[in-house]
Amino acid sequence: MSTRSLVALCLALLFGGCAAVGPDYARPAIDLPGAYPGAPADLGSAAAIRPEWWKLYGDATLDTLVASALERNADVRLALARIEETDANLREAGAAFFPEIDFSATPQRLRLSNRTATPLPASIPLVRNDVRLALSTAFEIDFWGKLRRAVEATRALALGSRYAKEVVTLSLAGLTTQVYFSLRSLDAQVALTRVTLQSREEALVYVRNRAAGGIASDLEVNQAVLARADASAQLKELLRQRALMEHQLAALTGRLDLALPSGDLLTLPMPPLPPTGLPSTLLERRPDVRQSEQQLVAVNAQIGIAKAAMFPTISLTSYAGGQSTALSSALSSGANIWSLGFGLSLPIFDAGRYAARTEAAQARQRQAVAGYQKAVETAFREVADALTNLQQTTAAEEDQMARLVAARNTLRLARLRYEAGYSAYLEVLDAQRTANDSELSFLRNRQARLSASVDLMKSIGGGWPAQTTPVANASGPARK
């Protein structure tokens, strides 16, 4: 075979090749309902929600905290570093399609033996110099698509790392928002408990004055002291919880010296509800579902890599350079050396090793399919759960408001009855506890409603396209 024919055959093998072995990826079919359980039948049409969904709550402090968390949190920096790693791995996988050209220089001085089976002629010196300079290359021709499958798998992992970063971003924004709402709920509870404590201190003074005048008994005085102590202990516990929430926000935002002034939970608006939602929309928006699918793509491509190992490995080897007894003449015309050849390696007997590797890759692919199915089903359930929680807490707010109004009226009437001498002080204490519990219950229901809205934002993937309608904000009751 001539040199030209050998080069032509090399190029044909290199660029022609054949189809990559192994299965091509196809998204698994997941049987999901056409709509989420409990979703409103008709939500109208409204503008799309931007990915910065936390800005819908209209709180500048919250916006600043989330921005700081997305910029300074260690989990975000870790996710970015993983993206850089997978990008480098993808470049390395792509470089396998190109030959690696190495330069070698081997100057040496050597002595030959004249006592060999074929003695050297007397004209050839036994001690001499040997200088060799060459450019060499050896690389595998991707005849069965092993390198293409490797690039496919690495590209999927690189894309998955980007979705993993979006998962971190979405989770971090959601956690920061929910911790902030918890902090604001505790602010409202602290303010309410301060008012309650002040009221019970005034009641204690009033009961003591009545006891000094012989109208109230020592039992009523001790009951008033107990009520005041309960309120004081409750206030200290709420302040402790608030401090812990502030510390958690500091860690999330990377601002360890964070100190937030008090705010009002009831001034925060409720964000709009999403559209009815379809599984296809869910698959496109959830970054964790996208990440799971890319892992499936990578594992699917690895089946082709395992199968390609069972076929012949065809390699191209070549070198070109010069060899001489002196460096000055190593690259002269008479010192030229070159080589061009093929290498072929085919496993004849491996005791089932490569078949086992292929079966293991296929088993990992089935595991990834199950993981992808679980991710989709979990995402669907989380949306349904968030919708249910949001709807039920919204519906419960009317009952909580009615209970609160009734408890306030009961407390007012109990005080009037006690001051008029128609009832014992125990009736006032019961009314105080009921009113305090009703106030706190209303605040906690509002916090749960806001938290459910955050869960909904996270479960839907953060924002959504058009065909949504806002829900009117339900303002809280005026404190008395």
Residues 390-425: pLDDT tens digits? 889 999 999 999 999 999 999 999 999 988 888 888
pLDDT band at 465; cut points 50, 70, 90: low
470 belongs to a structural domain: no
pLDDT at 186 over 50: yes
Percentage of the residues of the chain whose pLDDT score is greater than 90: 49
CA distance 399 to 364: 52
Number of separate domains in the chain: 1
Asked if residue 360 is part of any domain, the answer here is: yes
- Give me the pLDDT at residue 4, please: 53
| Structure token digits, residue 148 | 């293409």
Identify the CATH number of the domain in which residue 337 sits.
Answer: 1.20.1600.10
Question: Among 3-12, 136-145, 335-344, 362-371, where is mean pLDDT lowest?
Answer: 3-12
- Pick from 191, 305, 308, 176: nearest CA to 245: 176
Residue 465 maps to a domain: no
Q: Is residue 53 part of a domain?
A: yes
Note down the domain range covering 390.
20-110+125-459
Whether the pLDDT of residue 43 is over 90: the answer is no
pLDDT of amino acid 466: 58
Q: What are phi and psi of 434, to 5 degrees?
A: -65, -40
Per-residue tokens: 466: 């058009």
Mean pLDDT of 135-159: 90
Task: Give 337's strand partners.
Answer: 321
Within a domain: 478: no
Q: Is residue 477 part of a domain?
A: no
**276 or 229, which is more confident:** 229
pLDDT reported for residue 85: 95
Residue 362 lies in a domain: yes
Note whether residue 26 is domain-resident.
Answer: yes
Distance in angstroms (rounded) separating the CA atoms of residues 419 and 147: 90
